[in-house]
Structure 1
Amino acid sequence: MKFEGTERYVATEDLSMAVNAAVALQRPLLIKGEPGTGKTMLAEEVASGLGMPLIQWHIKSTTKAQQGLYEYDAVSRLRDSQLGDDKVHDVRNYIKKGKLWEAFTAEEQVVLLIDEVDKADIEFPNDLLVELDRMEFFVYETGETIKATRRPIIIITSNNEKELPDAFLRRCFFHFINFPDKSTMQRIVDVHYPDITQTLVQEALEVFFDLRSVPGLKKKPSTSELIDWLKLLMADDIPDEILRERDQSKAIPPLYGALLKNEQDVHLLERLAFMHRRETR
């Protein structure tokens, strides 16, 4: 089975090759790229394209690697023992399975998403080295080893907020999602809005890529933000002419709140527009 994208997800040839290479090597696929370039959605569409269930583990700054394996609730067991509850005699009643446990013991092969691994502590990736390499882990409370019956396809995403350990990187197949060019972006838009007016798309893409090219932007607008902006343009029935007449003295595009997400970038565009007006007097 080969992944070649889906009706809802435009996968470039390089990205499809990376997914299939990771599957063939039976190694986790580490995906990096700008926020909003479809890293998380990739796992969803790989699962859909290959006809497999998806298990998602969204990482937070407080997430520990152990939580992905299992958690033992000793406090509840102590409380139940004081209350004389019979279930205290089976420690399994106090073990909560983590996402890796679920993936390892699933009845069929699954896709496991470990999303935004760089949000956690720097030791988080190292704490999963053995489990991801051997596809097994030991449960100390029960004395059993949980081993993957069907090796899951593991997709790990990172926004490059911090460097990942070399030992972890060695165990992954790596792919960086480059920001889409105009032709690829056109295909992405067509997938989301097949009935959109093409002149609107062309003018919107010109504005979008011009905006991304402005020097000094703190946060460049992403693919997902372009999709949101186009939705607003269609909902408000913005005429193509407004986008076509790109006046540098009016540097901020209509409904800019979908594209610009901080006041520094808005002020930057306002200053550029002001400077242009002064120069043309």
Structure 2
Amino acid sequence: MKFEGTDAYVATDDLTVAVNAAVTLERPLLVKGEPGTGKTELARQVAQALGLRLIEWNIKSTTRAQQGLYEYDAVSRLRDSQLGEERVHDVRNYIRQGKLWEAFEAGKKVVLLIDEIDKADIEFPNDLLQELDRMEFHVYETGETIRARHRPVIIITSNNEKELPDAFLRRCFFHYIRFPEAETMKKIVEVHHPGIKEALLTAALTQFYEIRDQPGLKKKPSTSEVLDWLKLLLAEDLSPEDLRRDGADVLPKLHGALLKNEQDVHLFERLAFMARRQR
């Protein structure tokens, strides 16, 4: 069981090493990086490459760790008891399995994605320490212990919005996805836009990296955003010459795909204004 990337996902050597190390060690793989660098997609591609089913647990600010194990619906049971329902006598009718339970009880090995763990409360990772370490948890309402039939491949993503506890980090294999360099980005673009003309790609990526390197930028455009931008450039049949900017027009063509807040748009407008004054 070895991951070497897929036709739809360009994985760098250090990323494939990290995935395979986590699989070998049977440790969760914690993947950090800028939003839009393919962290979530990595889990999908690992599942596809290894021929495993993917179970996704998308974390929100209101998500509790207990929800990944199970939830007990005491309110519904109380209502049913008042109505004299027969199902009230079996507490299992009121237990909803979470994503970890689903992964643990799967008949075959699966890939479990815990996506954007840093969105949750700071105690969220600590509340999963024992379950991810021992691959089991206790259901207090029924008195049973749920153990993993096959230890899942666990991939955890983080946008680095908050620090994760040391005890949690110790139990993970860590990898930071660096933003792709130009050559790697060209390979990524080729996957999504095969046959794109070299001249257009070179001009577009040159401009894209210039924008990312602009001092004072609040949100740097990501990989997913440059792919959207290139899709628009191809749809509009723009040429490398169309992308050229002068001092009066510093904003890139179709900049709404790259610049996602008014502060960054104003930054480039100010640069254009200053360039015009210096003429």
The letter for the 2-side match of 1:41 is E
What CA distance in whole angstroms lies between the structure 1 residues aligned with 2:85 and 2:177?
53
The letter for the 1-side match of 2:139 is V
Alignment match, 1:166: 166
Alignment match, 2:87: 87
Higher mean alpha-carbon deviation, 248-257 vs 106-115, is at 248-257
Confirm or deny: 8 A CA contact 2:245 2:251 kept in the other structure: no
What CA distance in whole angstroms lies between the structure 2 residues aligned with 1:196 and 1:150?
43
What CA distance in whole angstroms lies between the structure 2 residues aligned with 1:207 and 1:248?
14
What CA distance in whole angstroms lies between the structure 2 residues aligned with 1:105 and 1:248?
62
1:129-140 paired onto structure 2 within 5 Å: 129-140=129-140
1:197, distance to aligned residue in structure 2 (A): 1.7
Alignment match, 2:72: 72
> Structure 1: which 5+ residue stretches go unaligned?
none
Alignment match, 1:208: 208
Alignment match, 2:156: 156
The letter for the 1-side match of 2:241 is E
Alignment match, 2:183: 183
Query: What SS does the corresponding residue of 2:15 show, helix, strand or coil?
Result: helix
Alignment match, 1:100: 100
1:5, distance to aligned residue in structure 2 (A): 0.7
Deviations 1:70-116 (A, max 9, x none): 00001111111111111111110000000000000001100000000
Deviations 1:121-171 (A, max 9, x none): 000000000000000000000000000010000000000100000000000
What CA distance in whole angstroms lies between the structure 2 residues aligned with 1:220 and 1:161?
15
Alignment match, 1:254: 253
For the pair 1:125 / 2:125, whether they are aligned, the reply is yes
Alignment match, 1:274: 273
Give 4+ residue runs of structure 1 displaced > 6 Å after superposition: none
What CA distance in whole angstroms lies between the structure 1 residues aligned with 2:245 and 2:180?
23
What CA distance in whole angstroms lies between the structure 2 residues aligned with 1:262 and 1:59?
25
Alignment match, 1:33: 33
1:34, distance to aligned residue in structure 2 (A): 0.3
For the pair 1:58 / 2:58, whether they are aligned, the reply is yes
Q: How many residues align?
A: 279
The letter for the 1-side match of 2:109 is Q
1:246, distance to aligned residue in structure 2 (A): 3.2
What is the identity percentage for the equivalent residue pairs of Structure 1 and Structure 2? Answer: 73
The letter for the 2-side match of 1:119 is K
Alignment match, 1:198: 198
What CA distance in whole angstroms lies between the structure 2 residues aligned with 1:246 and 1:178?
28
Alignment match, 1:220: 220
> Structure 2: which 5+ residue stretches go unaligned?
none
Give the TM-score normalised by the residue count of structure 1: 0.98
What CA distance in whole angstroms lies between the structure 1 residues aligned with 2:57 and 2:45?
16
Alignment match, 1:240: 240
What CA distance in whole angstroms lies between the structure 1 residues aligned with 2:100 and 2:44?
17
Alignment match, 1:8: 8
Give the RMSD, CA atoms, in angstroms: 0.7
Give the TM-score normalised by the residue count of structure 2: 0.99
1:249, distance to aligned residue in structure 2 (A): 3.2
